[in-house]
Amino acid sequence: MKQKPKILVIDDDVDLVAVMKGTLESKPYEVIAAYNGKEGLEKAKKEKPDLILLDIMMPVMDGFNFAEQFGKDPSLAKIPVLALTSFSESLGQPFPFQVAEYLRKPLKPKELIAKVEEHLKRGGSQT
Amino acid sequence: MALKIDNVIPKEQPAREHTPEERALVLRLGVYVNMRWLIVLMIVSATLISSRVFHIGFSTLPVYIICAIIASYNLIFVRQARSLQTGEVGQVIKRAQTSGNIQIVLDLLMLTALMHFTGGIENPFVFFYLAHTIAASILLPQRRAYALATLAVLAITLLVLLEYYGVIPHVNLVGFVLDTRYKDTSRVVAVLVALATLVYGCTYVITAVSGELRRRQKEMVKLRDQVLEKRTMELEQVSSEVVKLEQERRSFVRFLGVVAHDLQSPLIATQSFLSYILDGFTGPITDGQKDLLERGVRRIDGLLTLITDLLDIPRIEAGQITREMREISLNEVVKRSLEGLDNVAKQKELTLKVELPESSPKIIGASRRLQQVVTNLASNAINYTNEGMVLVRVFDNEKDVRVEVMDSGIGILPEDLPRLFNDFFRGSNVGSKGTGLGLSISKRIVEAHGGKIWAESPDPETKKGSRFTFTIPKKQTAVS
């Protein structure tokens, strides 16, 4: 790999973002953090990350709104999105665009890394 | 003003539908027109019989000519009556009454002419003036009925007087009455008075009755409109209440979402810190630290599940499931429910077997919710079975689908069976695992789909462990 894969973490929980950032940066990943959907969308457009970790329930713009806006932008549509939810939040709510996988919160650091690796590989083999 | 109101309020009956009053008037006019054919026939046969059978002497030609005139104008009125039945609404009453008026005047003239050529006052058919009076009283408003009654009385009086004074020649009915009758003053006066009395009497009685009838019809229509208006208002009120309730329901569900999020967020963050340390990201830890951190993680897990379960119940009861329903494949639901459980079963050296029907039944349901039910039943089965197997079977029946989860585990005590699906119930033989809400939530989910869920222990087939079954009807009836 020439460059560190970029991962965009979108979550309103500052502490959780810190832990995820720490976890992912222990591997050769560059982590960009956003604390709401709006900020996430802006950073996604600017940074063109290789993968997005998206929290579903957030203030300002929640994960669903984010996904809707996100899906409209063809330059972003190929980026795999892993949705992070606690069970009760996301039940039965269909996403307006393809989410690569739903991950149930809380996620153990090792599981998080495994999932990120898996989807980065999958995305890489597709292009 | 009236015009403005008319413009604002749409007409109750937009096209080609008559009010009861109009319908009745048109019907009566039709009867009157049809009756005229009968009258013509009667006059012709009466003339034939009196001249041929009774050999009463009078000239029959004028009678037949009058009959021909009546018949020809009746042709016009028949056509007019038909056009009134399908004609434009609104003008119907006016047009029908004008037509009735003209018809009666014409008939009176014809009758007077007929009387003249058939003996005048000598002819007992002179009382036929009553027929027109009755028709006028039925068809027309009171004033016009009286006007026509007066016209009838005047016409016959004039005829009789003109003959009496010899202004016009008198036609005697030879062989029927004496030729002097029309000059018999007391008789002439008596007949005229009797006729006039009858004519006015009939007009009075009939206009009173038909006026009352018309009034009632109008009242009926008014009442009907009032009832309709009230119904419409009630309906609007109910629908606005429904909208309000739906808004309340939505804000309640949204509130629950926020509560769940806010309660779980700190726990999830804390959980992540513990896991971060546990997984060695902050450096090596001792076995004692590891044990305590693991216990902490487990306790937080339990609390997260409890919060999810507790907030699930009011969501289900607020009817959230119905909103999530769409056509789904049950096989797919079951497959997805068991995805994570394979490993758990393997760790306990249990066999997890699935039997799905090839027909792959489709149902209307909330996919994730039904997954929740199957996952719950299957993970219970795995939890409470130490050796043997757990079998999940799906049956595609004619009216419903049935899912069975069977295990060879510790089973359920008979005294626990009835309370199994109650909130916070934990089996007496299973310790304090779980929140005690899993089965009660499953029951709510299944029932929200119009289905049933029950448990049997031991399993009636294997005589071991227990069997949980739920059914979902294929055709959803309205679920409240």
If you average pLDDT over residues B251-278, what whole number do you get? Answer: 86
**Given a cut of 90, is residue B403 above it in pLDDT?**
yes
Are B156 and B113 within 8 A, CB to CB? no
pLDDT at B312 over 50: yes
Q: Which tokens in the block code for residue B89?
A: 């609404």
Task: Please give the pLDDT value at position B223.
Answer: 92
Question: Which has the closest alpha carbon to A117: A98, A95, A100?
Answer: A100
Mean pLDDT of B64-88: 86
Q: How do residues B247-258 score in pLDDT, each as one tens digit?
A: 888 888 778 878
User: Does the beta-carbon distance from B272 to A106 stay under 8 Å?
Assistant: yes
Q: What is the mean pLDDT of chain A?
A: 79
Tell me if A106 sits within 8 A of B271, measured CB to CB: yes
Residue B1: pLDDT band by 50, 70, 90 thresholds? very low
By C-alpha distance, the chain B residue nearest A109 is B276
- Does residue B439 contact residue B456 with C-beta atoms inside 8 Å? no
- A15, A105, A108 member nearest B279 (Cβ): A108
- Joined tokens for residue B458: 């031991």
B462 min Cα distance to partner chain A (Å) = 35
Q: What is the 3-state secondary structure (H, E, C) of B6-41?
A: HHHCCCCCCCCCCCHHHHHHHHHHHHHHHHHHHHHH
Contact B391, B415 (CB under 8 A): no
| For residue B431, pLDDT beyond 70 | no
CB contact under 8 A, A92 and B268: no
Decide: residue B461, CB within 10 A, 0-12 exposed, 13-18 middle, 19+ buried: exposed
Task: Kindly report which listed range (A76-90, B320-334, B354-368) carries the lowest average pLDDT score.
Answer: A76-90
pLDDT band at B140 (very low <50, low <70, confident <90, very high): confident
pLDDT digits 0-9 by tens, A14-35: 888 998 998 899 888 999 999 8
pLDDT of residue B144: 87
Indicate the length of chain B as a whole number: 480
Where is mean pLDDT largest: A85-89, B115-119, B380-384? Answer: B380-384
B22-62 residue pLDDT tens:
888 888 888 888 888 998 998 889 888 888 888 887 788 88
pLDDT tens figures, B90-135: 678 888 888 888 988 999 899 999 888 888 887 878 888 888 888 8
CB-based contact B236:B186 (threshold 8 Å): no
Among all residues of chain B, which has the CA nearest to that of A94? B324
CA distance B415 to B428: 9
Q: How far is CA B451 from CA A104, B357, B368, B434, B470, in A?
A: 28, 19, 16, 25, 7
**Run of H or E residues at B71:** helix B61-86
B276/chain A closest Cα distance in angstroms: 6
B219-230 mean pLDDT: 91
Mean pLDDT of the residues in chain B: 85
Nearest CA in chain B to A27: B281
Predicted local distance difference test score (pLDDT) of residue A95: 57
Predicted local confidence at residue A126, as pLDDT = 45
Rounded mean pLDDT of B463-470?
93
Contacts of A99 (CB under 8 A, 6+ apart): A54, A67, A81, A82, A83
At B16, is the pLDDT very low, low, confident or very high (cuts 50, 70, 90)?
low
pLDDT band at B17 (very low <50, low <70, confident <90, very high): low
- Find the mean pLDDT for residues B273-282: 89
Q: A22 and B320 in contact by Cβ < 8 A?
A: no
| Residue B4 binned pLDDT confidence (cut-offs 50, 70, 90) | very low
Q: What percent of chain B has a predicted confidence (pLDDT) above 70?
A: 93
Q: Which of A14, A84, A87 to mutate against chain B (most B CBs within 10 Å)?
A: A87
What is the pLDDT, as a whole number, of residue B191? 86
Q: How confident is the model at residue B457 (pLDDT cuts 50, 70, 90)?
A: confident
